[in-house]
Structure 1
Amino acid sequence: MDALVIMILAFAGYLIMYKVYGQYIGKRIFALSGEAQTPSVALEDGVDYVPTKKEVIFGHHFTSIAGTGPIVGPAIAIIWGWVPALVWVFLGSIVMGAVHDFGALIISMRNQGKSISDYTSKYINSRTRFLFFLIVFLELWIVIAIFGLVIAIIFAMYPQSVAAVWVEVPIAMMLGYLVYRKGKSVMALSIWAILLMYVFVFLGPYIPMKMPAVAGIPATGVWTIILLVYAFFASVLPVTTLLQPRDFINSHQLVIAMALLILGVLAASFSGNLEIVAPAVQSAPAQAPPMWPFLFITIACGAISGFHSLVSSGTSAKQVRSEDDSLFVGYGSMLMEGALATLVIIAVAAGIGMGYTTKSGETLTGVAAWTTHYSSWAAAAGLGSKISAFVDGAANMINMLGIPKQFTLAIMAVFVASFAGTTLDTATRIQRYVLSELFTSLKLDFLTGKYAATFLAVSTACILAFATGAGGKGALKLWPLFGAVNQTLAALALIVITLYLKTKGGLKWLVGGIPAVFMSVMTLWAAVMNQFKFGTQHNMLLQTINFVIIIIAVWIVIEGLIKFFSDDDVPLDDAQPVSSS
C-alpha cells in the first residue's frame, strides 16, 4: 500500500474515532461533568496543583507520555512487518491506550489527584496497593536511570542537537515568568520561544558540542550525572516555572516535526521516490522472538503503555482544571501519539529506502537499505540503531522539501532529545509523588517532603545507572525487563479502571475489561517466555526480578477477579478533594 494512502487513512481514522468513540466513553461511560470540582482547583498550591488551560496541559501530557517511546518501539517492531505494527498502533491506541490513559486520568481527578498505585486500595484493597507501588517504583527507577543514558547517546550521535536542547531550559523559564508572573499571552510568547529555540537548531550543525571524558568518566557517564542533577531541580520547581512552559514549547516542536513529516511524505510520494521497502509481514525474522506476544510488548507508546497511567495520575490530574478538558488531554493525547507512531512506521518502512549509509560508508537505497539495517533482531535492537532508523528515514523525506539534510537531522534529533528530557524529569517528579504517598502511609513523615523524596528518587536511579561502571549504563542490565514491566503495569491499570467502571453499573466495565484481559494475557505470556530465556542465559538477576514481577502481576489479577465477582463494591460517589495531605 502507498505510504501516502496509509497516512491519510490512519489520520482520518484517528479523527473519526476521537469524535465517535472518545466522545462516547467521555459522556456515556465516565459521565464527565464540567461542574465537578477538580483537584487542581480545590488543592491549588502553585507548585504541583495548578489549574491549567487545556492546550497547555495537553502539551505537558503529550510530551511526557511520548518521550522516545513512539519512536523506538515501532522502529524495532517493524522487523515483523509494517502491517502488524500499523494495525497494533491504530487499534491499540483507540480502544486500549486512549481508554487506559483517559481512565487513569479521570479516576485520579476524582480521587484528589492521587497516583493510580495509591487509589488502587479503594478499588481493590490495601495489599494490592503495596504490590502496585513495587511495580511502579521499579518501572520509574529504570526509566529515570535509563533516560539519562538515552539522551547522552542522542547527544553523542547528533552533537548538533546539544545547544538547542539546553537553551530550551532558560527560554522556557523566561516564558513561564512572563506568562504566570506578568500575565502575558502564552500563545504569542510560546511562538517567539520556539522561533528562538530554532535559531539554535539551525546553528547546531555549525556548533556541534561533544562532551569529553572528565576525571576518567566517559561522556555518557558525564551526561548522565548532569541530566540527573537537572532532573532533581526540574522536578522540585513549581510546574509553572519550567515543566509547563517547556512542554508547551515542545508541543510546538511536535506540530513542526509532524508537519514536516507529513509534507515530506506528500513531497516524496508525488515525486515517486517514496516506496514501502519493508515487508508487509515477516513472521520469523532472524534471531527475533515470536511476534505473538512480543509485538504487543515492543510497541508500547503509540499503542498502550503503562507509563502513561503514571503521567495521567501523577502530574496531569493535578493540573487539568475541568473534567470537560480531560478527554482532550487524556484520550486526545494518546491518539496524537498514535499518529506520531504511524509517521515513524512510514519513516522506517519507506523513508529509509530513500538512502541509507552503512557503517562502512556505502550508501544503499530501496529494499537493500531496509534489509541491511534490519538484517537481524540484534542488528536493529540497539538504541542507536532504532533512533537512527527514524531520524535518517525522516530526514530523507523532509529533504524532499528542499531543506538540507544536515538541518533536517538537527531538527529531528532535537525533537527526539527534547521529548526524552521531558520524560526524564516527569518520571522523577512522579517518583517523588509515589514515594511521598508510600512514606505517608508508612508514617515516615521525614521522607515525605519534596526535597527528600526527590533526592531518594534521583539517588537510587544514580546508583542503578553507575552500578556497572562509570559509563552510566547500569540500567541496561534491567532494560530487558522493561517492556514486560511496562505492559504489566498497563494491564494492572486497566484492571483498576474496569473495577471503577463496575461501580457505575451496567456493562460499562467492558470498555476497560476487554483491554484488561487482552493485556494481562499478552504481558504474562511474554513474562513467562522471558523467564525461560533468562534461564537459558543463566542470568540469575533477571530471572529473580522477573519471577517477582510475575508473582505480583498474577496476585493483582487474582485480587482483581475476586473483587470483580464480590458484592463488596466501593461507594458510587467518588472521593472529592478536601486537602493536600
Structure 2
Amino acid sequence: MNSLFLVIVTLVAFAFGYRFYAKWLSLDVFQLQNKYSTPAHTRFDDRDHVPAQRHLLFGHHLAAVAAGAVFLGPVVAAAWGWIPAFLWIVAGSAVAAGVYALGSYWLVVRQPLTLWEIARSLIGSWGGPALIVLAVPVLLILAAAGAGFVASLLAAYPTAALPLAGLALVAAALGTFLHGRPEITLAPASIAALLLVVMLLWLFDATSLAFTGALQLDLAGETLFSVDAVSVWLVVVLGYAFFSARAPVWRLIRPRGYLTALLTGFALLGFYAGIAVEQPALVAPPFHEAPDRPGALPWLFLVVSSGALAGFQFLVIHGVTARQLRRVGDARFVGYGGALAEGLLALTALLVATTSFAEADTWSSYFRSVSAANVSGVFKLYVDGYVRIAAGIGLDPDFARTLVVTVAAGLALSTVEAAIRALHRLIPGATEAGDAKGASHRLGTRSLWAVIAAVAVLALADGHGLGGVEAWPLFAPLNLWLAALVLWLVAMALRAGELPFAPVLALAGAASLIGLWASAAQLIAWWSAGETLFFVAGLLATLVSAGAIGRSALALAADYGLRLPGT
C-alpha cells in the first residue's frame, strides 16, 4: 500500500475531528465561553500565571507533552503490523487524546485548585491520595527518562549539541523581546527566530561538541559507577532544567517550547513533502504476530501513549500550561489541536517503521527482536528513515539528521522542564516560597534542588544515566491509570455543573477497562519475570486507582437510584 494514502486519511480524519467533533465538545459539552476569567488573569503573578497568545501557548503545550516516546512507541508498535498502530494513533489522537486535553484544560480553568483538592472535591476521600500516588512517580519517571533520552541523543549525535544550545539562546532572546509587547509582534519575531535557528542548524550540522572517554569507580574488581558522556550530558540537562524552573515561564520555558514546536513543524513539512514526492510503499504487513511476542492487545495501549492517550499530559496542563491560558475558548485550539499535532508526529514514526526496509523478510527479521528497551537502536531507525525520506525533496543528509535529532532532543527537553516544574508544584508551599524573598525564597530553592536530586538519583540508578528509561515499564500502566482517573474527574465535574457528561463518561469507562486489562497483563508478566519491585508498585497503583474509580462509579450510580446490595 502507498504510504501517502495513510497520510491523506489521517489529515482528513483530523480535519473533520477539529472542525466538527472538537467544536461540538467545546460548545455543547464543555460550553467554553470567553466570558469566564482564567487563572492567568485572576492569579496573574508575571511568573507562572502569565497570559499567552494562543499560538505561542499551542507551541509550548505541544513541546511539553510530545516527549521522546512519540518517536519510539509507534516504531515498537509496528511489530504488530501497521493497522493496529495506525488505528490507535488516529482514533487515540482525534477521540481519546483530544477529549482528554480539552477536558483537562476545562477542569483546571474551572477549578483552579491543587491536584489533591480537585480529586477530593469530585471523588471523595479516595480521590486525593489516588491522584498523588499516580502523579509523583509518573512525573519523576517522565523527567528522569526524558533527561536520559536527551543525554543519550547528545552523546550519540554530538552535532546536535550546538544547535540545541543555540535554540535555547535564541528562545531566551525571543521571550524577552515578546514580553509586554503587542500580539502583532509575534509573527515577525517568530519568523526571524526560526530562520536564525535553521541557519544555526546549517552552520553546525557537521560540528560536534562531545565528551570522550569514561571514568569508572571500581571496588574489588566490580564497577560501582561509570561516568561517561551520557552521565555528563545528564548533569548538564538537569542543571539547565533547574535554571529553567526558577525563571518565569515567559523568559525561557515558554519561548523555547514554542520555538521547538516551530522547528518541529519545519521538520514535519520536510517529512510529509518527502512522502508526497517519494510515495514509499508499506513493507510491513497489516497484521503481524511473532511466535515469541505477545499479541497487540492490550500492550498497544501501553506502548503508544504519546501520540494517543497519555495521562501525564493532565499534570503538565495543571502545573504549567493552563496557568497561561488567556481565554477559555483557546482550550480547543491549544488542547485538541495539540493532540492532533502530536498524532502527526507519531504517524511519522509509524511510516518510518513500515517503509524503511526493502522487503518484508528484512522487516520481519528486524522487528522479531525490536524492543522499547533498545532506545538507541529504535531511534537510529527513525533518524535514518527520516533522512532517507527527506532526501526525496533534496535535504542534505547531514542537515536532515541534525534537524531531526535537534527536534527530538528539544521536545524531550521541554517535557523534562514541564515535568520538573509540575513536580515542584506538588510540594506544599513550593510555589509561594519560590515567589517570596529571604528565607521563604531559600526554602523554594531547596525544594527545587530536592526535585532535581530525586530525578538525578533515578536517572543514575543504572550507573549510566538511563535509569528513568529502565523504569519506563512501570510508567506505562501508571500513565494509563492516570488518564482513566482524570477522565472520571472531568466526567464528575461535568455532572456537578449539570453539563452533558455522557461522552466523557463513556471514554472514562473504556479507559478504565483498558487500564485494568493492561495492568493485569503487565502484573502477570512482572510476576513471571520475578520483577518484585515493579510488581508491588504496579499492584499498589492498580488497587488505589481502581478504588477511586470504583467510588466514582458508585457515587454516579447512586445519583440515578442504582445501589449495590449493602450500600
TM-score, normalised to structure 2's length? 0.91
1:110 deviates by 1.0
Which residue is equivalent to 2:462?
A: 468
Where do residues 508-523 of structure 1 align in structure 2 (5 Å cutoff)? Answer: 508-523=500-515
Cα deviation for residue 446 of structure 1 reads 6.7
Equivalent pair of 1:236/1:450 in contact (CA under 8 Å): no
Alignment of 1:245-264 (within 5 A): 245-264=255-274
Q: Deviations over 1:17-63 (max 9, x none)?
A: 11111000100001111111111011110000001100000000011
Partner amino acid, structure 2, of 1:244: R
Within 5 A, what are the aligned runs for 1:534-545? 534-545=526-537
Q: 2:231 aligns with which of 213, 221, 245?
A: 221
Q: 1:332 aligns with which of 318, 327, 337?
A: 337
Change (3 A) 1:344 1:123: same
Matches within 5 A, 1:79-158: 79-112=79-112, 114=113, 116-158=115-157
The answer to whether the 8 Å contact 1:172/1:249 transfers is yes
CA distance, structure 2, for counterparts of residue 450 and residue 511 of structure 1: 41
Q: Deviations over 1:334-389 (max 9, x none)?
A: 01111222232222211x13xxxxxxxxxxx33344234312244x6511122122
Instruction: Tell me the equivalent position of 1:383.
Output: 375
Partner of 1:575: none
Q: Distance between the aligned counterparts of 1:36 and 1:541, measured in 2?
A: 46
How far residue 139 of structure 1 moved from its aligned partner, in angstroms, is 0.3
SS at match of 1:292: coil
In the alignment, structure 2 segments of 5+ residues that lack a partner are 217-226, 433-438, 561-567
1:489 pairs, out of 482, 493, 500, with 482
Matched, 1:555 2:547: yes
Q: Partner residue of 2:471?
A: 478
Taking a change above 3 Å as real, the CA distance of residues 449 and 305 of structure 1, as seen in their structure-2 partners, is farther
Which deviations, in whole Å up to 9, do the C-alpha atoms of 1:428-468 show, x marking residues without a partner? 1111112237999xxxx979964233222211111212233
Quick check: 1:457 aligned with 2:451?
yes
Q: Relative to structure 1, is the Cα distance of residues 40 and 439 closer, same or farther in structure 2, using a 3 angstrom cutoff?
A: closer
Per the alignment, in what secondary structure is the counterpart of residue 49 of structure 2? coil
Q: Does 2:422 align with 1:430?
A: yes
> What is residue 359 of structure 1 aligned with on the other side?
none
Rounded to whole Å, the distance in 2 between the matches of 1:477 and 1:65 is: 20
Q: Counterpart of 1:398?
A: 390
Query: Mean alpha-carbon deviation: is it higher for 12-21 or for 334-343?
Result: 334-343
Sort the Cα spacing of 1:366 and 1:210 in 2 relative to 1 into closer, same or farther, 3 A: farther
Residues 523, 446 of structure 1: CA spacing in aligned structure 2 closer, same or farther, 3 A cutoff? farther
Partner of 1:163: 162
Match of residue 180 from structure 1: 179
**Residue 398 of structure 1, CA deviation:** 0.6
Partner Cα separation in structure 2 for residue 81 and residue 174 of structure 1: 45
Pick the aligned partner of 1:288 from 284, 293, 307. Answer: 293
Distance 1:275 1:419 in 2: 29
Question: What is the correspondence of 1:315-326 to structure 2 with a 5 Å cutoff?
Answer: 315-326=320-331
- Relative to structure 1, the CA distance from residue 84 to residue 477 in structure 2 (aligned partners, 3 Å threshold; closer, same or farther) is closer
Counterpart of 1:73? 73
Instruction: Report deviation, 1:268.
Output: 0.5
Identity %: 24
Q: How do 1:258-273 and structure 2 match up within 5 A?
A: 258-269=268-279
SS across alignment from 1:435: coil
Query: For residues 447 and 139 of structure 1, do their structure 2 counterparts lie closer, same or farther at Cα, with a shift above 3 Å needed?
Result: farther
Q: Which residue of 1 aligns with 2:207?
A: 207
- 1:469-523, Cα deviation, whole Å (9 max, x unpaired): 2x223324422111111111111111111111222437x2221112111211112
Q: How much has 1:6 moved relative to structure 2?
A: 1.2
The secondary structure found in structure 1 opposite 2:352 is helix
Aligned 8 A contact 1:79 1:377 in 2 = yes
Equivalent position of 1:571 in the other structure: none
1:261-286 deviation per Cα after TM superposition (whole angstroms, max 9, x unaligned): 110001112xxxx110111111x225
What secondary structure is seen at the aligned counterpart in 2 of 1:207? coil
Which residue type is aligned with residue 160 of structure 1?
A: T
Superposed CA RMSD in Å reads 2.2
Matched, 1:366 2:376: no
Number of residue-to-residue matches in the alignment: 544
Is residue 311 of structure 1 aligned with residue 316 of structure 2? Answer: yes
For 1:576, the equivalent position in structure 2 comes to none
Structure 1 position 260, deviation (Å): 0.5
Per-residue CA distance 1:399-448 (angstroms, 9 max, x = gap): 011122222111111111110110111111111112237999xxxx9799
Contact kept in structure 1, 2:234 and 2:465, CA below 8 Å: yes
Structure 1: unaligned runs, 5 residues or longer: 354-364, 569-581
Counterpart amino acid of 1:252?
L
Q: Structure 1 residues 287 and 235 mapped into 2: Cα distance closer, same or farther (>3 Å)?
A: farther
C-alpha change, 1:28 and 1:177, in structure 2 (3 Å) is: same
For residues 332 and 24 of structure 1, the distance between their equivalents in structure 2, rounded to whole angstroms, comes to 14
Q: Distance in 2 between matches of 1:116 and 1:406?
A: 45
Aligned ranges for residues 336-355 of structure 1 at < 5 Å? 336-350=341-355, 352-353=356-357
Name the amino acid aligned to 2:39. P
Distance 1:117 1:73, change over 3 A: farther
Whether contact under 8 Å (1:146, 1:476) holds in the other structure is yes
In 2, Cα distance between equivalents of 1:450 and 1:45? 16
The 8 Å contact of residues 93 and 304 in structure 1, kept in 2 or not, is answered as yes
Confirm whether residue 277 of structure 1 aligns to residue 317 of structure 2: no
Match of 2:3 in 1: 3
Is the 1:439–1:447 Cα contact (8 Å) retained in structure 2?
no
User: d(CA) in 2 for partners of 1:2 and 1:288?
Assistant: 27
Which residue in the other structure is 2:28 paired with?
Answer: 28
